[in-house]
Amino acid sequence: KYYEETYQQGRIRIKSFENYAEKLVQRFPDLKTGIMTKMKTLHAQWHDLELAILSYLDEDFDKILN
């Protein structure tokens, strides 16, 4: 349950970062490349973390079934 809640909080934070990045690009269009690079890095890190969490939850679920 803890990991599921943490995962959901992370998804909410990612969405907040995306919204903030959009606002930054609107306000500072000359920084768009740097902002988008940071967002790509953030998404890659989130993807790696997401895979780790989901595989852990799958293992935990398998243990419950057995």
Q: How many helices (H) and strands (E) does the chain have?
A: 2, 0
- At 2-18, the pLDDT tens digits run 777 887 888 899 999 99
The answer to pTM > 0.75 is no
| Per-residue pLDDT reduced to its tens digit, 14-61 | 999 999 999 999 999 999 999 999 999 999 999 898 888 777 766 665
Distance CA 12, CA 46 (A): 12
Residue type, 43: H
Residue 57's domain comprises 2-65
Number of domains into which the chain is organized: 1
